[in-house]
Each structure stands twice: as C-alpha cells, then as structure tokens.
Amino acid sequence: MKKRTSATRTPTVLMICTGNICRSPMAEGLLRTQLVQEGLTDRIRVRSSGTHGIDGSPASSYAILALHRMGIDIRGHRACTVTQQAIDEADLLLVMTHGHSSFIEKHFRRTEGKLYLLSEMIGQAFDVNDPWGGTETEYALCAHQLSNTVEQGLQTILGLLPSFTTTGTS
C-alpha cells in the first residue's frame, strides 16, 4: 500500500467510541476547538465513529449540553459506524477504551502504528468511561476529562500525524 503524505492530503484523526453519540463526538468537538485555537483547522481533519453506532443518530442531549456549556456546538453531529474505509483514511485512530482498541484490531486491517487510547496522548492508559444513560453531571465529568486529555495531549497528537510539524504555531 502506498503511504500517503500530508503534502497530498490533509492528515485525519478519527475518534472512536461505542455508539458515536457521547464520547467520540465530544472528543471530536474538543479537538476541533483546540485546532481552531492553534490556527490549524485547515491543516488537520477530525472525524468520529462508533464500533456499534446507529448511523444517523444525533449526539446525546447531555453530550450536546456538556459541550455547549464549554462553548462548543455539536448539535449537527450524526453518528456513523466505523468502516475499513474510515480506518484507511485516518492517520491516527484514538479510541476511548481498551475494549475499543481490541475490537478495532480484531475487525479491521491496517491499524498498526496508528491505533492508540486517547489517554495515551498524555502518557497514561486509562479508559474513558461511557456516560451513556447517566446523569447530566456524569456527562459533564466525562466532557471535562476529555477536554483535559485533548488539551494536554495536543502536541502528542500533532506529533503522530504524518509529516506534520508545529513550527510556527502558538
């Protein structure tokens, strides 16, 4: 397989959770916001998918609310199930749990060297618990955990993208 470079296309980060209605759309929105702050929105693409999503479902109302309170709008999000094409198009796969990592490794090809737990971006290896079915407070706690992880892990994320340098960014 021919290796694509950032000179020919925009590097892509794919956030993955279970249903693609809570954690991964929140993480997607949070990473996009970080990229806006760094002036990198046109240089990196961010997507999200679920291992067992129902295509077309909106983000959870509490996920929307939690990010709205952070100034981020994910109301337009629609869930999609992860596919081999999405895996192939992504340069970096960031999953929420060890279980997601195992599922992706078992069901998809060409994940070597690009599949990580989101928490690995900050030098750890913890699962981001699923707030689905939980309270507004549980969603807010999850959103804050994701926000801290994305913010603290941004330079690691950027460093894992092909031929991407942060020279000249703030």
The set of catalytic residues is 17, 23, 130
Which residue's entry shows tokens 């078992």? 106
DSSP 122-149: GT--------TTS-HHHHHHHHHHHHHH
Which residue's entry shows tokens 């804050």? 144
Nearest to 154 by CA among 10, 27, 9, 4: 27
Say whether 3 sits in a helix, a strand or coil.
coil
